[in-house]
Amino acid sequence: MTVSADTQITELAVNDHACLTFGEAEELLDLTAAFVRDGLDGGLKVVWLSDAAPDRAAAELARRGVAVESALASGQLAAAGYEGRLLTGQVFSASDAVGWLAREAMACRDQGFPGLRLAVDMGWALRPVTGVEQLPEFEKKVAAALGGTTVSVLCQYDRERFDPVTLASVAAFHTRSVAAATYYAGVMLRICRQYAPPGIRLAGELDYQASEFLALALTEAIRLDGDVTVNMAPLAFVDVCCARMILDAARGLNPKTPKTLKSPPRRMILRCRPALAARFVLLGAADIPTLSLVSVDDG
């Protein structure tokens, strides 16, 4: 059975105030890229506030298929830090932060954009910041400010680092709860949907015991249009049973039906570490025309 949050990242609406919880950096980057991509595709202004340097943030989005270069050049996309926006030095003021958001929304309209998407990595609140106790007040003020606007805000919380009390205190002020759709989550393995580029992501060690969950994840990914990425970069081991299942899914991507005959051929892009790439080659990956095997150093 698929385990998911109330809302998928691709379902967010114009003035949603959404709470995204994530468990690892790759999950955060994937979900953020989808949020940014959909905003840009909708003609909206998109801003991402995080700890990452702007160049690095842009590179991470580009690696996930977001058209970063043209969006940055046109001013439609901005990747920035917290200083002068949410923070002044190591001081946080809920009123000042919401004031910045209001000014950003006004500037967005003046620039001719129909709306604004703001993604905020809330990791700043884990620092020794003066005024951090105002975090629930900030979320409450944001919720009130978004009513009747074309501004949506995605607040990103690391569920491994924020304590349950803090997460509970801010949850009530969000209209949506967002996380990656997860097919399996255990001590040694995690199988979840990948949103940018579309597909699935596997982390840990994968063997026949999880074949049912892998089959479900692959089936749901293939139901969507376009190419399918199987991101195995965080995966340390895959057994022959599961490797063959992935290769069989790639072979079956383009059945000869009236619908597929009118559509461009689909491909499966398999990203994995060199040792796993070698295993897939031994199992015949090079002979599958619908499969692209990409060897990566890490996830």
Q: Do 171 and 217 belong to one domain?
A: no
198 with 158, same domain: the answer is: no
Where is the domain boundary, 157, 178, 199? Answer: 178
Asked if 244 and 158 sit in the same domain, the reply is no
Q: Note whether residue 247 is domain-resident.
A: yes
On whether both 125 and 152 belong to a single domain, the answer is yes
Residue the block writes with tokens 């105002």: 134
In a domain, residue 186? The reply is yes
| Total domains, the chain | 2
The Cβ of residue 241 has, within 10 Å, a number of other Cβ atoms equal to 14
Q: What is the CATH number of the domain that holds 150?
A: 3.40.50.300
Please indicate, yes or no, if residue 120 is contained in any of the structural domains.
Answer: yes
1, part of any domain: no
Say whether both 34 and 147 belong to one domain: yes
Residue 7's pLDDT band, with cuts at 50, 70 and 90, is: confident
Pair (211, 142) in one structural domain:
no
| Domain annotation covers residue 46 | yes
The answer to whether residue 43 scores a pLDDT higher than 60 is: yes
CA angle 144, 105, 15 (to 5 degrees): 50
Q: What range defines the domain where residue 41 resides? A: 9-178
Q: Are residues 75 and 117 in the same domain?
A: yes
Domain-located, residue 238: yes
pLDDT digits (tens, 9 = 90+) for 247-284: 999 999 987 766 555 678 899 999 999 999 999 999 99
Of 135, 154, 178, the domain-final residue: 178
Q: What is the pTM of this model?
A: 0.88
CA distances from 183 to 4, 186, 232 (A): 8, 10, 15
C-alpha distances in Å from residue 133, one per residue of 50, 162, 170, 198, 238: 20, 13, 11, 38, 45
62-116 pLDDT, tens digit each: 999 999 999 999 999 999 999 999 999 999 999 999 999 999 999 999 999 999 9
Domain-located, residue 4: no
Looking at the structure, tell me whether residues 212 and 232 fall in a common domain.
yes
Domain boundary residue among 178, 207, 232?
178
173 and 191 inside one domain = no
Residues 26 and 160 in one domain: yes
| Sheet strands (E) in the chain | 17-22, 45-49, 77-80, 87-88, 91-92, 116-121, 151-158, 176-178, 182-185, 189-195, 198-206, 228-231, 235-238, 268-272, 291-295
Residue range 154-170, pLDDT digits in tens: 999 999 999 999 999 99
Find tokens 């009130």 and name the residue: 144
Query: Per-residue pLDDT tens for 115-158?
Result: 999 999 999 999 999 999 999 999 999 999 998 999 999 999 99
Are 93 and 189 contained in the same domain? Answer: no
Whether 162 and 201 share a structural domain:
no
For residue 263, what is the domain's CATH number? 3.30.750.24
Other Cβ atoms less than 10 A from the Cβ of 278: the count is 14
Burial (CB count <10 Å: 0-12, 13-18, 19+), residue 135: buried
Within-domain flag for 2: no
Distance between CA atoms of residues 30 and 35, nearest Å: 9
Q: Are 224 and 254 in contact (CB under 8 A)?
A: no
Secondary structure class of 177 (helix, strand, coil)? strand
CA atoms within 13 A on the CB side of 197: 17
